[in-house]
Chains A and B, each alone.
Chain A
């Protein structure tokens, strides 16, 4: 599904990612863990085209995608949900979904049904301005937006950051449901979630992948994972 091969990414003159390679197979949910500043967000942004690696290649379903714009990649099936939980604050929830639906030419009702399917409480908020939603609701809206048009690969940056424990549970459930439907590459600090959902874990340290774990037993051992973070 996604194959990253030795990419190098810089912010201005500062080199952030050094020869990073990873691979996500169809239907897999991969997690990236690591300390703050390791380059996790940069990695996701490089895949969706918000940043461009100056060397290396990224293949999505066999096609080279380095240098393509986020718009094109989104329509090709990659969706990115950023760390800041930014929604279109001045538009309503429904209108947020409308824009996503418009881009993929999916009827907006389908998008609404989908999001109320995995989070029925959203029905109450459809006509509320998105800026008034709580952090957890925003995250759910963002996931709902990202799922419009049935994407193939989700890139999510710290979905549970800053959220209350109860909400994290909700998100965990939503992610579980998604597991069979899309491939995903998720940045997370919450190791319990990693534990529960991951097929593959990548440890990023100072811009390099220092370890890749696909051994289920290793993943369930949260203490072992903590060693890497």
Chain B
């Protein structure tokens, strides 16, 4: 379906897309978001249309000109469903760090947001400012869940952040697989990061005990900032650098 020239009402289906739209100055045009979008605070107050399986009825009721989704969203049935009610869908690729600035620019074109190019340049500069090299690159493990242990491996957004800030990913796997407890015990990382809303310190302690009483420091991080490929990535990198410097 063709995208209209003037997009006045937008629905965003991923939290990072929501943040990107606001960051390029088009936030006032967002009329609905997915359940998880909670930043900026204004977006948190908008009507919600579901998360894993967006509710097409609710989307339609909000009369959007355009629906924005990310490639991570896995909505194979969404495009035809929306096309059936005459609503165009635009999918933005934002899986990896270098793609964020590009996504900003693209969104700027689609939404005709004049602030977009500048925002993209600022973002790129912010990212570049956080680039570090460290003499002894610390080995970081990002744990998504502890029972069983799921990690962020290579070729992920989290990995990009680690590489940027001069750290190294402690695991040798790709994607977001379940990780072997033996490998954790045999190659303990220097630091474990975990999302504070999904995992608590007690669960982390249980994991470390099961791995043979590993004494590895762990830090809870705000997953809304650290795992969303969005405009706050500079803040995420800065926070990560602070953790790594303070260590």
To the question of whether A and B form a pair in one complex, the answer is: no
